[in-house]
Amino acid sequence: MRRLDNITDEQIAAAQLRLVIDDKLGRDTPEVLRRIAAMSPTEIDDVPAPVFTGPHSSLLDALGVPLSSELLTRALTHRSYTEETGEHLSNDRLEFLGDAMLGAVVTDHLYRTNPDVSERGLAKLRAGVVNMNALAEVARGLGTDGLGPHLLMGEHEEASGGRDKSSVLADALEALVGAVYVEHGIDATSAVVHRLFDPRMAEVSAGGGLVDWKTRLYELTDTMDLSPPEYLVDSGDREYTATVMVAGRSYGPEIGRTKREAEQNAAKTAYRELSP
């Protein structure tokens, strides 16, 4: 996003989001930027933000965008609710779309803001932003009580703690991103992703969020004269579960969307418990 005299990138993003979503300028991005360029910082700040009402108002306020009732319901519907009740379509397809949109926006930002980082380094940066735990952390911070209370899910899934499962929350957040894209297009989607993930992207670009917990655990066990960690991984429906064994004791289980992520999460748990 280009910088205009006396106007910060944050003000441009806020104004662009408000103007695009308010449909004052449709989806004509050059026209959006032209109008913003002619506005003073005070005028940009005075562009009214959307006002939301209803049971999901705090969630929509956190996103900063309106969504139709149909799309919002679909984005919030876990497959277990569809399977148990036969009502509503699940959020699986929106999650698939949102995953791609989120990855594209994050990748574009990291590429542009880290010109000296290699392809491998950029991949690691992206993994530090777009991973199940990071997405779940963002989801738990949405609205008044997080994303969990807004979800529709089956009784069994809810009884098993589904409303706070990292995998469920991450999927639902991606589904919301997908819903924003379907209803408002790429410009608003990019603005929403930046609104939610800019702090995380800044953190990983500065070197945070990229800890290799498996390496740390290996080094710790070596220092403590313990046998090397052994990982046991089970694959399930769309996620992996990992347990790590150290000196006859198991740590976990922890889950992840990939085998590596599940192992990293298990190693993190073990490292923190074993560290002096």
In angstroms, the CA 247 to CA 180 distance is 48
The backbone torsions φ and ψ at residue 204, rounded to the nearest 5 degrees and listed phi first, read -70, -35
The catalytically annotated residue of 99, 157, 254, 263 is 99
The catalytically annotated residue of 171, 174, 187, 263 is 174
First to last CA, the chain: 46
| 258 DSSP 8-state letter | S
Largest CA distance in the chain: 67
- 99 catalytically annotated: yes
Token pair for 146 = 């997080």
For the sheet with 249-256, list strands across it.
230-235, 240-246, 249-256
Burial class of 112 by CB neighbour count within 10 A (0 to 12, 13 to 18, 19+): exposed
Task: Let me know how long the chain is.
Answer: 276
- 5 catalytically annotated: no
In angstroms, the CA 188 to CA 185 distance is 6
In angstroms, the CA 87 to CA 81 distance is 7
Residue 35: other Cβ atoms inside 10 A: 18
CA proximity to 149, closest of 74, 72, 56: 56
3-state secondary structure of 87: coil
Cα radius of gyration (the chain): 21
Catalogue the active-site residues.
99, 174
